[in-house]
Amino acid sequence: MLAKTYTGSIQGVEGLLVRVEVDLTKGISSFRTVGLPDASVREAEVRVRSALTNSGFSFPQGRVTVNLAPADVRKHGSAYDLAVALAVVAAMREGPVERLPSTLFLGELALDGAVRPVRGVLPIVAEASRRGLARVVVPEANGAEAGLVRNISAFAVRSLREAVDLLDHDGSAPLSTPRRKEVHEGDALDLSEVKGQRQAKRALEISAAGGHNLLMVGPPGAGKSLLAMRLPSLLPELDFEQALEVTRIHSVASLLDESGLVSRPPFRAPHHTLSAAAMVGGGARSLPGEVSLAHHGVLFLDELPEFQRPALEALRQPLEDGRVRIRRVSSIVSLPARFTLVAAMNSCPCGFLGSESRPCRCTPGMIQRYQGRLSGPLLDRIDLKVDVRALRPEEVLAGSSGESSSEVRRRVARARAIQSARFRRRKEKLNASMTEASVARFCEIDPESRALLETAIGRLGLSARGCHRVLKVARTIADLSGSERIEPAHVQEAIHFRSESGRETG
């Protein structure tokens, strides 16, 4: 007696359909799973046996052979339990079989027959829809993300018995697409709460508008982290396609809440002790790292020089390409990683180099070693550099001042709308991701601006990449001002933020 159905697995952040075949034959009682299962998949026998018995079904006494195809792909996790159990029920002719071959099942089984949530449901359901399956059955806790996929009927169940009844009667209504979670302005940290720091706030606005990488340098307590945490409040909501991309990644990482869709740009702030694999992803299952979890959002690295050198150097490729490629013996996994890097650091180990209030206790050698932890190629990929000075006593005691996040966000949204129209037929979405060909087309400058840039190349020693990044920032500044052309003032401001110091003068 043979029964077939579908379940799924994940490779990177993509879904993979797995065909489940259960064959029952006479002989000494045994349960064997083939198709490169790991230990957790082989342990499904115990969970399936107890779940079936406690749900009122019998368990076959002969030989049970479970094949998970394709057989050349390693199978991980417990998401196959529900599909295997239902195939066993169908093979014993104790449950419906007509709809089984066109349905995909995901879920881990508890010993009492309850269905527990699993990770990676969204990409797997999306792949099932693409492959033309009629329906998918998922745990109740994963219903919100399964309902995001179009052109497939998604159902949520709480137990093995419910799944059998669903196949038997097929009278349940499929899940509807979850509504976007409303974000109230009062829920976010507001830029107006940060005192002073006019130049740093301007750098945040430019970074938010064009997706440019930003480095803030200043003494402890000057407000670097405070500023970075306000950046998400300047960003507009993700469009539906971007939200699906981000939700897919967070689904694989088991970071979704009950709302399902991630509609706000993510903000990731990992601790400086994380490894290179945790930064860019990897491991036995090629799970997404921090750079992918920050896709279409912000990656904030506080105390930048304290991060391990391999973790920082691993940022080079994703900062340039917007993707991470992880090579394994049998495959190459590509993970999306188009994020805005915001970093903060002190100017020296004690943090008070150049401070007017406290003397620096560091020797020149200590300062050189500290600043030398950041390589030139990494710093060359940072578009905006700004000094965040300590507040004066009168500024500390003064009330909050300056524009609110909503005011700045409106300008950012207008600038991004200009970029969206500019790149509507191109892969780029923001100025920071422009290719060399796009820079040549959209960043034309007049002779006065060219002279400014030539002077900056000689004075700052800009590389070709650095020169292109100055032009990208200038294009964003022009977009913020509503100018079709890049003016000399825009180039001058971009050069100012590219230099070693973005110190305030007023």
Given a contact cutoff of 8 angstroms between Cβ atoms, the answer to whether 68 and 103 are in contact is: no
Given a contact cutoff of 8 angstroms between Cβ atoms, the answer to whether 398 and 195 are in contact is: yes
Same domain (yes/no): 163, 189: no
What is the domain-level CATH number for residue 376? 3.40.50.300
Instruction: Choose among 99, 353, 93: nearest CA to 217.
Output: 353
Position 505 pLDDT exceeds 60: no
Backbone angles phi, psi at 169, to 5 degrees: -105, -35
Please, which pLDDT band fits residue 188 given cuts at 50, 70 and 90? low
Is 375 part of a structural domain of the chain? yes
Same domain (yes/no): 94, 203: no
CA distance 361 to 367: 10
Is 109 part of a structural domain of the chain? yes
Position 182 pLDDT exceeds 60: no
Is 224 part of a structural domain of the chain? yes
Please, which pLDDT band fits residue 461 given cuts at 50, 70 and 90? confident
Q: Which residue has the higher pLDDT, 168 or 235?
A: 235
pLDDT at 103: 93
pLDDT at 380: 92
- Strands ordered across the beta sheet of 103-105: 30-34, 63-69, 14-25, 2-11, 103-105, 135-139, 153-157
Given a contact cutoff of 8 angstroms between Cβ atoms, the answer to whether 224 and 302 are in contact is: yes
Position 368 pLDDT exceeds 70: yes
Residues in Cβ contact with 79 at an 8 Å cutoff, skipping those fewer than 6 apart:
7, 8, 9, 106, 107, 108, 118, 119, 120, 124
Same domain (yes/no): 98, 216: no
| Ordered DSSP codes for 449-505 | HHHHHHHHHHHHT--HHHHHHHHHHHHHHHHHHT-SSB-HHHHHHHHHHHSS-----
Q: For residue 311, what are the domain limits?
A: 185-498
Quick one: average pLDDT of 360-378? 92
Q: How many CB atoms lie within 10 A of CB 207?
A: 28
Q: Give the count of alpha carbons within 13 A of 431, CB side only.
A: 30
The residue with tokens 């529900």 is: 82
pLDDT tens per residue, range 277-293: 999 987 767 789 999 99
Domain boundary among 138, 169, 200: 169
Same domain (yes/no): 15, 73: yes
Q: Which residue has the higher pLDDT, 397 or 443?
A: 443
CA distances from 97 to 20, 173, 415 (A): 13, 20, 56
Is 256 part of a structural domain of the chain? yes
Same domain (yes/no): 354, 262: yes
Name the percent of the chain lying above pLDDT 70. Answer: 92
* Prior bond of 70 cis (ω within 30°): yes
Is 177 part of a structural domain of the chain? no
Same domain (yes/no): 229, 318: yes
pLDDT tens per residue, range 57-102: 999 888 999 999 999 888 988 999 999 999 999 998 866 678 888 9
Given a contact cutoff of 8 angstroms between Cβ atoms, the answer to whether 356 and 390 are in contact is: yes
The residue with tokens 């009927």 is: 153
Q: What b/e string do you get for 251-287 counting C-beta neighbours within 10 Å, with b at 16 or more?
A: bbbeebeeebbbbbbbbbebeeeeebebbbbbeebbb
Same domain (yes/no): 145, 206: no
Position 475 pLDDT exceeds 90: yes
CA distances from 15 to 9, 54, 120, 178 (A): 6, 31, 8, 21
Same domain (yes/no): 206, 309: yes
Which range among 162-176, 200-214, 247-261, 389-403 has the greatest average pLDDT? 200-214
Q: Count up the domains in the chain and report the number.
A: 2
Quick one: average pLDDT of 215-232? 92
Look at the alpha carbons of 294, 298, 301, 302 in this order and tell me if their dihedral is positive or negative: negative
Position 201 pLDDT exceeds 50: yes
CA distance 113 to 300: 43
Tokens of 357: 């209030």
Domain boundary among 119, 134, 169: 169
Same domain (yes/no): 144, 280: no
Is 503 part of a structural domain of the chain? no
Q: What is the largest CA-CA distance in the chain?
A: 88
pLDDT tens per residue, range 7-50: 999 988 899 999 999 999 988 889 999 999 999 999 999 999 99
Please, which pLDDT band fits residue 233 given cuts at 50, 70 and 90? very high
Same domain (yes/no): 159, 200: no
CA distance 10 to 490: 46
Is 175 part of a structural domain of the chain? no
Is 178 part of a structural domain of the chain? no
Quick one: average pLDDT of 456-466? 88
Lowest mean pLDDT among 133-142, 164-173, 420-429: 164-173
Rg (CA), the chain: 27
Same domain (yes/no): 132, 253: no
Same domain (yes/no): 76, 101: yes
Domain boundary among 123, 138, 169: 169
